[in-house]
Amino acid sequence: MTATLLRELRQALGEEAVLTDPGATEGYSGDMMPLVPRGRPLAVVFPVDTVQVRACVRACAGAGVPIVPRGAGSGLTGAANAVDGCVALVTTRMNRILELDPDNRLAVVQPGVVNLDLRKAAARHNLFYPPDPSSLEWCTLGGNLATNAGGLCCGKYGTTADFVLGLEVVLADGSVLRTGRRTVKGVAGYDLTRLFVGSEGTLGVISQATFALTPLPAAPGTLIASFDAVEQAGDAVIRVVREGIVPSLMEIMDATSLRASAAYLDSDLGRAGRQVLLLCQSDSGGRAADHELAAMARLCQEAGAAFTHTTRDPAEGDLLLRARRVSLTALEAQGAVMTEDVAVPRTRIAELIVGCEKIGADAGLTVAVVGHAGDGNMHPTVLYDRTSSEEFRRACEAFDAILALGLSLGGTVTGEHGIGRLKQQWLERELGSVSLRVHRQLKAVLDPGSLFNPGAVFTPAEARHGAP
């Protein structure tokens, strides 16, 4: 059966697009989350279009072999991790922007297009694709769709799902489902587009997407404000929201994250005893941006900011924002990390950060926190010694304690990274048994053989049996 499957795959895709050597397939066996077990794929395949995706799905379905779709592997939940004997379907060669329509402000793309490449292509037409994960320079849109990725601009512009007009999806039987439309409005039928966005490769393989684009905003102006206490920074966020200001970006960094980024970039941003830093931007342009930046500076000062600085120089703004974008890389440079993805109401951000500091202290470990203050999506990161099994155990306990804290504050265990294979046990705790039952039933209808990404979101047994 294995020989027959590999022969069918090579006939459909070509010899060079099917890898079976363990040395070559190892690099496609997992994403960036090292805590989740990964299996050994039977093969790694690289389709270039929907026709080849259909051929792969049909061949695997006939052989009863699971398929794990993946993009660039920038995920942080193990959702792209292989299971033993699977076919890893890599979409990075499906990297064409098929259409960019300035008049209707939309783009039709394959899933292997890099996020930043679509942004640049849109900008050449004075258009903008807003979702911008920190990995935007190399993450692919297929992965963004699979997790409903967000990023730094979500507070004003929304997540990936807010820009998807329609999808082309290869289903478990090899048929092609086309969802959505190209029009601004359209309510015919169920919203199947939203069903597949965020499904983490468990319902089908997205082979094409139509995205809405927005007018290109003005170059942003930037404000930084430092505070001596987390509570002051949290109060500043609340004041900005209450004032009705919607910054294009509002990020928060604690002292540990600031020091790590400053050391990584060899800058002085983390010095001078800063405990918390807010980075805010306005892309409204002209006097509107001046007004928003001045108002946010005033609100930060009223909340107790020790220092504020405003610039309309895009280069200086990019330099300041760079400290936030490299924060996870900077923390990883100091050792092993476990990165969280909890989101809480914006009024509870300070409580979450203070709570994370206490959880770290109780575990005898350091917990750094950065996040999207504009929408409450925080990324606490537990630092530990990877050579110490005892520290690893305590880090795992701290990781779970942070998830529990996020839920207790009225939040969610994932704001943008997804469930993957990392947080399965938390899904029912957040959603409830009725919601989880409906999830399982949808999975059973669309993927009755449980061949798509088994072990992601649900345990394999849950996905196979559908409703309990």
| Distance, C-alpha 214 to centroid of its chain | 21
Q: Which two tokens stand for residue 444?
A: 């059973």
- Whether residues 86 and 149 share a domain: the answer is no
Q: 29-38 as b/e, with b when 16 or more CB fall inside 10 Å? A: bbbbbebbeb
Query: Number of folded domains in the chain?
Result: 5
Nearest 10 degrees: Cα torsion 453, 456, 461, 465: -70
Q: Which two tokens stand for residue 284?
A: 């409204």
State which of 90, 118, 150 marks the end of a domain: 90
In a domain, 426, yes or no: no
- Whether residues 21 and 65 share a domain: the answer is yes
- Whether residues 245 and 344 share a domain: the answer is no
pLDDT digit string (tens) for 280-333?
999 999 999 999 999 999 999 999 999 999 999 999 999 889 999 899 899 999
pLDDT digit string (tens) for 103-129?
999 999 999 999 999 999 999 999 999
- HSE at residue 272, side-chain half, CA atoms within 13 A, is 12
Q: Which two tokens stand for residue 23?
A: 């040395």
| Among the listed residues 260, 249, 262, 254, the one whose alpha carbon sits nearest the alpha carbon of residue 233 | 254
State which of 309, 326, 343 marks the end of a domain: 326
- Whether residues 302 and 356 share a domain: the answer is no
467 has a pLDDT exceeding 50: no
Q: Which two tokens stand for residue 422?
A: 């990392």
CATH of the domain at 275: 3.30.70.2190
pLDDT of residue 272: 53
pLDDT digit string (tens) for 127-146?
999 999 988 999 999 999 99
| Among the listed residues 257, 223, 199, the one whose alpha carbon sits nearest the alpha carbon of residue 443 | 199
- DSSP letter string, 182-207: SSS----S--HHHHHTT-TTSS-EEE
H/E stretch holding 149: none
- Whether residues 439 and 412 share a domain: the answer is no
Residues near 124 by beta carbon (within 8 Å), at least 6 away in sequence: none
Q: Which two tokens stand for residue 421?
A: 């294979």
In a domain, 180, yes or no: yes
Beta strands in 96-184 (DSSP E): 97-101, 106-109, 127-128, 164-170, 176-180
Judge contact between 46 and 95, C-beta under 8 A: no
Q: Which domain holds residue 347?
A: 335-420
| Among the listed residues 167, 46, 170, the one whose alpha carbon sits nearest the alpha carbon of residue 109 | 167
pLDDT digit string (tens) for 167-198?
999 999 999 999 999 999 999 999 999 999 99
In a domain, 131, yes or no: yes
Q: Which two tokens stand for residue 232?
A: 């002051």
Q: Which two tokens stand for residue 338?
A: 């476990």
pLDDT of residue 273: 59
Q: Which two tokens stand for residue 378?
A: 């925080």
- Whether residues 104 and 205 share a domain: the answer is yes
Residue 468 is which amino acid? P
267 has a pLDDT exceeding 90: no
pLDDT of residue 268: 76
Residues near 311 by beta carbon (within 8 Å), at least 6 away in sequence: 221, 222, 317, 320
Interatomic CA distance for residues 379 and 102, integer angstroms: 36
- Whether residues 342 and 375 share a domain: the answer is yes
In a domain, 427, yes or no: no
Q: Which two tokens stand for residue 156?
A: 């004003």
Q: What is the mean pLDDT of residues 262-288?
A: 85
H/E stretch holding 341: none
Q: Which two tokens stand for residue 128?
A: 């903008």
In a domain, 137, yes or no: yes
Q: Phi and psi dihedrals of 411, rounded to 5?
A: -110, -160
In a domain, 425, yes or no: no
Interatomic CA distance for residues 285 and 299, integer angstroms: 20
CATH of the domain at 72: 3.30.43.10
Which residue, chain included where needed, has tokens 């001046």?
A: 290
- Whether residues 380 and 461 share a domain: the answer is no
pLDDT digit string (tens) for 367-424?
999 999 999 999 999 999 989 999 999 999 999 999 999 999 999 999 999 999 999 9
pLDDT of residue 462: 56
- Whether residues 237 and 306 share a domain: the answer is yes
pLDDT of residue 468: 41
**β-bridge partners, 210:** 108, 166
In a domain, 57, yes or no: yes
- Whether residues 378 and 349 share a domain: the answer is yes
- Whether residues 180 and 129 share a domain: the answer is yes
Question: In angstroms, what CA-CA distances link 215 with 130, 211, 283, 313?
Answer: 10, 13, 12, 21
In a domain, 379, yes or no: yes
Judge contact between 49 and 109, C-beta under 8 A: no
pLDDT of residue 219: 95
Terminal alpha carbon distance of the chain: 32
| Among the listed residues 257, 276, 415, the one whose alpha carbon sits nearest the alpha carbon of residue 337 | 257
- Whether residues 293 and 201 share a domain: the answer is no
Full 3-state SS string of 222-258: EEEEEECCHHHHHHHHHHHHHHCCCCCEEEEEEHHHH
Judge contact between 39 and 85, C-beta under 8 A: yes
pLDDT digit string (tens) for 51-103?
999 999 999 999 999 999 999 999 999 999 999 999 999 999 999 999 999 99
Comparing 74-88, 256-270, 423-437, the range with the smallest average pLDDT is 256-270
Q: Phi and psi dihedrals of 356, rounded to 5?
A: -65, -40
pLDDT of residue 271: 57
State which of 151, 180, 215 marks the end of a domain: 215
